């Protein structure tokens, strides 16, 4: 008998290899430990799948709403325009001024003052708080400024202008919403800045904008006015709801 003949103990397959411990080796690599979602139990895998499905649906709905908002008027927007506006405004409103043929060439600062009630029953007015300047200082030198610092006040003011005429009268159903949104922002800012002292309360607020033209470059022959233009809104009464979300 050949010395290399496996005899009756050799495996039946021609390619079979026997390990020293008597087990037949396999060409398939050993399965490693499961990772990610596969490592979870069946119950948690189902939960993760449901959560991912909900997120995917929400993302698809949001993308669809934004698309319908910026798309030309069509049958869907005519029939469901109110639902689309309720979803978009005010947080997701789209602004295309950067891409306009004549981009905005003005600096607009939103300012506010308050009428404060004293414990003795008297009232006094504060000076004007430049909220836009506060946001500018918070952004200056900040590599990762927050969305609130960059856009909250600016978008609230744009929202107000879009829903009011030159006499500050609301021009649509969203006018009251824009006033409430802007009033809540300025009240919370005043409360944070301590506009009312100990025992005092903010009773009314007044908002105004200060608009100045951006100076043209030195090589330009364009002449623009350097005088600021103010748009002053009427006094708004303040309620407890306007402080919601603040530090009170």
pLDDT tens by residue, 135-145 = 999 999 988 88
Q: Please say if the pLDDT value at position 131 is more than 90.
A: yes
Sign of the CA dihedral 99, 105, 107, 110? Answer: negative
Crossing angle, helix 75-88 and helix 42-70, to 10 degrees? 110
- Looking at residue 72, what is its pLDDT? 83
Q: What is the pLDDT of residues 103-128, one digit of tens each?
A: 668 899 999 999 999 999 999 999 99
- Looking at residue 20, what is its pLDDT? 53
Q: What is the mean pLDDT of residues 17-29?
A: 53
Q: Please say if the pLDDT value at position 27 is more than 70.
A: no
- Looking at residue 3, what is its pLDDT? 47
- The Cα–Cα gap between 30 and 121 comes to 83
- Looking at residue 10, what is its pLDDT? 47
- Looking at residue 160, what is its pLDDT? 96
- Looking at residue 28, what is its pLDDT? 56
- The Cα–Cα gap between 124 and 118 comes to 8
For residue 236 the two structure tokens come to: 């708004």
Q: Which has more pLDDT, 67 or 4?
A: 67
Decide: 131 and 111 in contact? Cβ < 8 Å. yes
Q: What is the pLDDT of residues 151-208, one digit of tens each?
A: 999 999 999 999 999 999 998 888 999 999 999 999 999 999 999 988 999 999 999 9
Per-residue pLDDT band at 73 (split at 50, 70, 90): confident
- The Cα–Cα gap between 114 and 238 comes to 10
Q: What is the mean pLDDT of residues 223-234?
A: 93
Sign of the CA dihedral 207, 204, 179, 139? Answer: positive
- Looking at residue 136, what is its pLDDT? 93
- The Cα–Cα gap between 161 and 172 comes to 12
Placement of tokens 């708080």 in the chain: 129
Decide: 159 and 85 in contact? Cβ < 8 Å. no
Q: Please say if the pLDDT value at position 88 is more than 60.
A: yes
Query: What is the SS3 assignment for 110?
Result: strand
DSSP E strands in 118-197: the ranges are: 123-125, 129-130
Decide: 194 and 227 in contact? Cβ < 8 Å. no
Q: Please say if the pLDDT value at position 5 is more than 60.
A: no
pTM greater than 0.75: no
- Looking at residue 54, what is its pLDDT? 95
78-82, 116-120, 214-218, 244-248: which is most confident: 116-120
Domain definitions of the chain by residue range: 36-88, 97-243
- Which backbone phi and psi does 165 adopt, to 5 degrees? -85, -175
DSSP string, 72-109: PP-HHHHHHHHHHHHHHTTTT----GGGSSS---EEEE
Beta bridge partners of 209: 110, 231
Integer angstrom CA distances of residue 217 from 185, 221, 222, 223, 224: 35, 9, 9, 10, 11
Q: What is the mean pLDDT of residues 75-99?
A: 78
CA torsion 138-139-142-147 (nearest 10°) is 100
Average pLDDT, the chain: 83
Decide: 72 and 50 in contact? Cβ < 8 Å. no
């Amino acid at each position: 008998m050949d010395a290399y003949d496996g005899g009756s103990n050799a495996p039946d397959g021609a390619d079979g290899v026997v390990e020293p411990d008597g087990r037949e080796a396999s060409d398939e690599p050993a399965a490693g430990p499961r990772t990610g979602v596969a490592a979870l139990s069946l119950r948690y895998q189902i939960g993760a799948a449901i959560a991912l499905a909900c997120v995917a649906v929400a993302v698809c709905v949001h993308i669809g709403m934004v698309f319908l908002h910026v798309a030309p008027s069509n049958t869907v927007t005519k029939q469901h325009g109110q639902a689309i506006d309720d979803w978009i405004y005010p947080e997701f409103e789209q602004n295309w001024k950067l891409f306009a043929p004549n981009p905005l060439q003005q600096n607009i600062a939103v300012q506010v003052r308050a009428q404060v009630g004293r414990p003795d029953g008297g009232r006094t007015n504060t000076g004007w708080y430049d909220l836009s300047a506060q946001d500018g200082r918070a952004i200056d030198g900040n590599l990762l400024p927050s969305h609130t610092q960059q856009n909250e006040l600016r978008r609230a003011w744009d929202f107000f202008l879009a829903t009011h005429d030159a006499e500050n009268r609301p021009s649509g159903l969203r006018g009251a919403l824009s006033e409430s949104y802007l009033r809540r922002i300025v009240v919370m800012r005043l409360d944070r800045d301590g506009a009312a002292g100990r025992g005092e309360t903010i009773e009314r607020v007044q908002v105004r904008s200060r608009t100045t033209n951006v100076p043209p470059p030195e090589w330009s022959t364009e002449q623009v006015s350097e005088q600021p233009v103010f748009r002053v809104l009427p006094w708004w009464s303040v309620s407890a709801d306007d402080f919601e979300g603040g530090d009170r």
